[in-house]
């Protein structure tokens, strides 16, 4: 049976108080409380600022030992690469996450590319260089531009043993479709919500304001049964973080998977 864990994209949200976190718990105890409910988490702050080794060590210390972490790549890698500094930032990033790697608690490093990262020669060459620089880490790539979803891309990821991020999002123009494909031993899934009305309004908060129904999540049972056959490890994260909807749906999916006997 594949190693399947379900969690959320981020955990440190004040609007989760009373929705997920009890009001009596201090913010410093959020991670420990979270790790008693979920055994994996995706850290997003590392996109906005480079992580520090001491920070990562604190995450390890303040969570249950059976919980692992996926960490988003810094914006200098995916959104604003500077030819003069991006390699230096990568080395700093690798050093910072080394404690997770050494303790076998690093599930993946997520490289999320924006819609403006088009399927063009210069971008393909840059992606190749980036993956080479980060090859000592378990990598997953998420493309927001649908033109990357082609046979050449998938084959390139397989050759480099880099995972492809499967996404659940609205079925609207410009948004990549959900493709159940694995390009490494890790299957990585992000549930962004299906808020089609607000997806392109430029407001990230309203974009991810969505609560999945039991029926919508149950429709993933057959797909996950297929992914279990091709992946040794599956990590599932809910990014619909508004008002504690992500932990609600993550727990809902956990229950669905247990009932379907996909997880113990």
Note the pLDDT tens digit of each residue in 148-158.
Answer: 999 999 999 99
For the 3-259 domain, the top CATH level (class) is: alpha beta
Note the pLDDT tens digit of each residue in 39-95.
Answer: 999 999 999 999 999 999 999 999 999 999 999 999 999 999 888 888 999 999 999
Domain ranges of the chain: 3-259
pTM of the model: 0.95
Give the per-residue pLDDT at 206.
80
CA torsion angle for 91, 232, 216, 19 (degrees, to 10)? -60
């Amino acid at each position: 049976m594949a190693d399947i864990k379900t969690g959320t994209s981020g955990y440190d949200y004040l609007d989760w108080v009373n929705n997920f976190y009890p009001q009596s718990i201090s913010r410093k105890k959020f991670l420990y409380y979270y790790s008693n409910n979920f055994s994996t988490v995706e850290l997003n702050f590392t996109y906005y600022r480079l992580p520090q080794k001491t920070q990562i060590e604190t995450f390890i210390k303040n969570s249950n030992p059976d919980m692992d972490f996926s960490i988003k790549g810094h914006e200098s890698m995916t959104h604003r690469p500077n030819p003069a500094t991006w390699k230096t930032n990568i080395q700093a990033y690798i050093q910072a996450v080394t404690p997770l790697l050494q303790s076998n608690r690093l599930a993946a490093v997520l490289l999320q590319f924006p819609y403006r990262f088009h399927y063009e020669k210069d971008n393909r060459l840059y992606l190749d260089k980036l993956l080479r620089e980060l090859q000592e880490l378990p990598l997953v790539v998420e493309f927001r531009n649908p033109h990357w979803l082609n046979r050449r891309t998938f084959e390139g990821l397989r050759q480099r043993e880099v995972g492809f991020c499967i996404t659940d999002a609205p079925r609207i123009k410009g948004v990549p479709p959900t493709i159940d494909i694995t390009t490494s031993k890790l299957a990585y899934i992000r549930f962004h919500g299906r808020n089609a009305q607000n997806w392109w309004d430029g407001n990230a908060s309203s974009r991810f304001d969505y609560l999945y129904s039991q029926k919508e999540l149950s429709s993933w049972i057959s797909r996950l049964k297929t992914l279990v056959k091709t992946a040794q490890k599956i990590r599932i994260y809910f990014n619909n973080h508004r008002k504690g909807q992500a932990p609600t749906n993550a727990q809902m999916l956990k229950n669905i998977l247990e009932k379907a006997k996909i997880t113990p």
